[in-house]
Amino acid sequence: MSDMEQAPARTPLYARHIALGGRMVDFAGYALPVNYSKGVLAEHLFTREKAGLFDVSHMGQALLSGPDAARRLESLVPGDIQALAPGRIRYTQFTNDEGGILDDLMVTRLASNAAGERLFLVVNAACKQADFAHLRAKLPDLRLDALEDHALLALQGPAAAAVLERHVPGVSALGFMAHDYFIWRGAQLGVSRSGYTGEDGFEISLPADAARSLADLLLLEDDVEPIGLGARDSLRLEAGLCLYGHDIDRTTSPIEAGLVWSMSRRRREQGGFPGAARIQKELAEGVARQRVGLAPDGKAPAREGAEITNADGAVIGRVTSGGFAPSLGRPIAMGYVPPEFAREGTAVNLIVRGKALPARVVALPFVPNRYHRPVKG
């Protein structure tokens, strides 16, 4: 390690992580816990059963505002931002001119004010400086305010709504992918009904002091435990969700990644975002490779980078995420293969330590998601 290397930044909850026995690592420049004393397996299963509290303050939060902000942002992302109603959230990607993905992000449309339309963005920690520079360079007419002093907490799991409602009355009325502001002990909380686990839950943007107080209160609840990055990764993998820099990157297009659902018909037809030529061509003619779920037949996990081979032993792709699925008690993986191998049930091999381990292509997600979608009467 070089002397020039900077010590990782600390989130507002750093002292809590230490006090809770967090095993701290440097993740995207932040000191964050991989797990607490109970370990990844227990934390993962607790989140699926009750509610897990995650410190995701390392993620980039920003307000983008100004005249026509929604239409202007569409020049950088394939998502339909103009159709987003105030208080609604959408998942999209920043694409490059080659149709690859620079980052993936959540966009919330807030109520407009005198200055124009307002959008709340949450981007990946490792990409945030580049994302903000990209926004400032490409949309110089808009105002970008990074919320550097704000923490981000995620409360995820079937008990999340009942628990958070006790502390922040009204939050349980939010539907999946909806956002609203709540005042809690004098602080403004931006609460989103969204997450990265496949469970019902919330992401809460709030000032650092309020984050410490709210986290302390939530952790007093029997139904809440602190959860580290290890379980965050295994939960999102079971939910079939992409991790930037692994399952998606500058070379993978949203179509290859199976993210076509995040584009509206209007955006698919009209284009008008970086790399639209490639993406529209893939929509019309098909892709050369696509992201699939993989289920090894045996017990050995295949991890990121493992080669995927066909029955003849030819390399047809690579695993982009892989590990043990605590909720299933067996290994799972995701990777890219040509479309002729993407059909469910296709037999492939995953090369682990030189051995070809048989696996099958399976549907995503591995564990059914349980988002809060009220049935309309």
Partner 1 sequence: MADMFFTKDHEYIVVEDGVGRVGITRFAQGQLGDVVFVELPDVGAQRRQGEETGVVESVKAASEVFSPVSGEVVEVNADLSDHPALVNEDPQGDGWFFKIKLANPAELSSLLDKAAYDALVASLA
Q: Is there binding between residue 230 and partner 1 (CB under 8 A)?
A: yes
With CB under 8 A as the rule, give the number of residues binding partner 1.
18
Q: State the Cα angle at 58 between 365 and 228, rounded to 5°.
A: 55
Smaller CB separation from partner 1, 49 or 209: 49
User: Of residues 310-329, which lie at the interface with partner 1 (CB under 8 A)?
Assistant: 323-324, 326
Pick the binder of partner 1 from 114, 353, 375, 377 (CB under 8 A).
353
Listing DSSP states for 202-234 in one string gives: EEEEEEHHHHHHHHHHHHTSTTEEE--HHHHHH
CB of 368 to partner 1, least distance (A): 21
- Mode of pairing for the β-strands spanning 30-33 and 9-10: parallel
Query: Residue 61: which of 208, 279, 252 has the closest Cα?
Result: 208
Q: Is there binding between residue 35 and partner 1 (CB under 8 A)?
A: yes
Pick the binder of partner 1 from 52, 201, 301, 317 (CB under 8 A).
301
Q: Which amino acid is at 98?
A: E
Q: Which amino acid is at 136?
A: R
Pick the binder of partner 1 from 166, 185, 250, 299 (CB under 8 A).
299
Helices 160-167 & 208-219 angle (0-180, nearest 10): 120
Smaller CB separation from partner 1, 144 or 229: 229
Pick the binder of partner 1 from 143, 246, 303, 370 (CB under 8 A).
303
Q: How far is CA 291 from CA 259, 288, 337, 363, in A?
A: 10, 11, 7, 10
Q: Is there binding between residue 41 and partner 1 (CB under 8 A)?
A: yes
CB of 302 to partner 1, least distance (A): 10
Q: Is there binding between residue 245 and partner 1 (CB under 8 A)?
A: no
Pick the binder of partner 1 from 61, 95, 234, 252 (CB under 8 A).
234
Q: Is there binding between residue 331 and partner 1 (CB under 8 A)?
A: yes
CB of 238 to partner 1, least distance (A): 12
Q: Is there binding between residue 39 and partner 1 (CB under 8 A)?
A: yes
Q: Which residues pair with 319 in a beta bridge?
A: 335
Smaller CB separation from partner 1, 324 or 341: 324
SS3 (DSSP) at 241: coil
SS3 (DSSP) at 145: strand
Q: Is there binding between residue 63 and partner 1 (CB under 8 A)?
A: no
Residue carrying the six token digits 């103009």: 82
CB of 326 to partner 1, least distance (A): 7
Q: Is there binding between residue 78 and partner 1 (CB under 8 A)?
A: no
| Half-sphere exposure at residue 6, Cβ-oriented, CA atoms within 13 angstroms | 8
d(CA 356, CA 281): 35
Name residues whose C-beta falls within 8 Å of residue 216's C-beta, 6 or more positions apart in sequence. 16
Q: Can you say whether residue 140 is alpha, beta or left, with left for phi > 0 and alpha for psi between -120 and 50 degrees? A: alpha
Q: How far is CA 197 from the centre of its chain?
A: 8
End-to-end CA distance of the chain: 60
CB of 73 to partner 1, least distance (A): 37
CB of 48 to partner 1, least distance (A): 14
Q: Is there binding between residue 194 and partner 1 (CB under 8 A)?
A: no
Q: What does DSSP assign to residue 367?
A: S
Applying CB under 8 A, the span of 39-47, 215-223, 310-318, 362-370 interacting with partner 1 comes to 39-47
Q: Is there binding between residue 373 and partner 1 (CB under 8 A)?
A: no
What is the contact surface with partner 1 in residues (CB under 8 A)?
34-35, 39-42, 44, 230, 234, 299-301, 303, 323-324, 326, 331, 353
